[in-house]
Amino acid sequence: MAEVPAPATTTVPQQARPEHQAGARHRNKNQTVRSFAPGGPDGPGGAPGGFAAPAARAPRTVPGWLWSVPPVAVLALVFLYPLALVVQQSLTPESGGGAFDAYTSVFGSHAFREALGTTVWLAAGATVGCLALGFALALIIAFVPFPGARGVAKFIDVFLSFPSFLITLALLFIYGTVGMANGVWTDVTGAAEGPFHFLTTPWGVLLAEITYFTPFVMRPLLAAFSQLDPAQLEVASSLGAKPARIIRRVILPEALPALAAGGSLVLVMCLNEFGIVLFTGAKDVTTLPMLVYGKAILESDYSAACVVAVVNIAISVGLFGLYRVVSKRAGA
């Protein structure tokens, strides 16, 4: 017998009670009103009970230029104020007279012109010597493998911290009148004195400056050589280029910025070097710093000393500005 399907049951929804509907409508109304309240459901500013909370004040920002005032003031007090005093003293002679009388007197003196010429040629000669010697030594340390190359490079960093008079004293112990070289000569030949007396001449000062300032050229050169791609050297060598051509066409163009930086630094430092000239005992060598020392300490002519100092400062600042212009054009 076929099964007779059971009749489908129909569920009739019960009618909601009036009190439940009224309660639901009341809750929805409250939620709607509270949701439209500014600041969220708790009222203005999110304060409970609908009360407005005080608005948070934005933090006060200090202008950027105000932060630069303290360091600029310190630099002006430490560096610019003494320079201003030097310029003022050069324009106000102690003996009276016009403001530029001291300049006229100094510029017309033979001692100033001789000191200026000696300073310029010593600085230029030392710079050229440091560039040539520093470039050659940096090439050997960077590209010629030998035991202890890394230690030599580290020693250069230590050498930069040595005072200039220490190197001069070392040269005096070697080439001085009673130094090692003259002592060996007299012991071997039986002569009364040795032949090495050049340290008290301008050439001795030049040797001392080249010895002391060469590491200032080597340091940036070694940094530039460390960034040079070895593949360029390998490609040039595989194409049959000789070492001199590789140096001229590959290494030297990469080293020009470092040479310019080191050379300009050496030039400015040689123009203002005082300790080397003083400790060599070269009495006939008078540079601008030595002239300042002589005018101020030996002659007590402070106005003339300040005039020479102003000239020395002007030369140094002018060379630095020229270097900045040349470096920008080379970089462009």
In the prediction, which pLDDT does 60 show? 67
Residues 219/262, Cβ–Cβ less than 8 Å:
yes
66-79 in b/e form (b: 16+ CB < 10 A) is eeeeeeeeeeeeee
**pLDDT attached to residue 279:** 86
Identity of the amino acid at 199: L
Residue 289 and residue 315 in contact, taking contact as beta carbons nearer than 8 Å:
no
CA-CA distance, 285 to 206, in Å (whole number)? 11
* Token code pair at residue 332: 């462009």
Number of C-beta neighbours around residue 278 at 10 A: 17
320 phi/psi in degrees, rounded to 5: -65, -40
Q: Which amino acid is at 71?
A: P
**Structure token digits, residue 131:** 């560039």
Closest CA to 156 of 172, 174, 137, 175: 137
Q: What is the C-alpha separation between 116 and 312, in angstroms, rounded?
A: 9
Residue 330, pLDDT score: 53
* Domain 95-331 superfamily per CATH: MetI-like (1.10.3720.10)
- 332 residues of the chain, pLDDT tens digit each: 444 444 444 444 444 444 444 444 444 444 444 444 444 444 444 445 544 555 566 566 767 778 888 888 888 888 888 888 888 888 887 777 777 888 888 898 999 999 999 999 999 999 999 999 999 999 998 888 788 878 888 888 888 888 888 888 888 888 888 888 888 888 888 888 888 888 888 899 999 999 999 999 999 899 888 888 888 888 888 888 888 888 888 888 888 888 988 898 899 999 999 989 988 878 788 999 999 999 988 888 888 999 999 999 999 888 888 777 766 765 54
Q: Which backbone phi and psi does 229 adopt, to 5 degrees? A: -70, 120
Q: Where are the domains of the chain?
A: 95-331
CB 57 within 8 A of CB 64: no
**Which class for 142: exposed (0-12), middle (13-18), buried (19 or more C-beta within 10 A)?**
buried
Secondary structure class of 163 (helix, strand, coil): coil
Residue 17 confidence (pLDDT): 47
DSSP letter assigned to residue 60: P
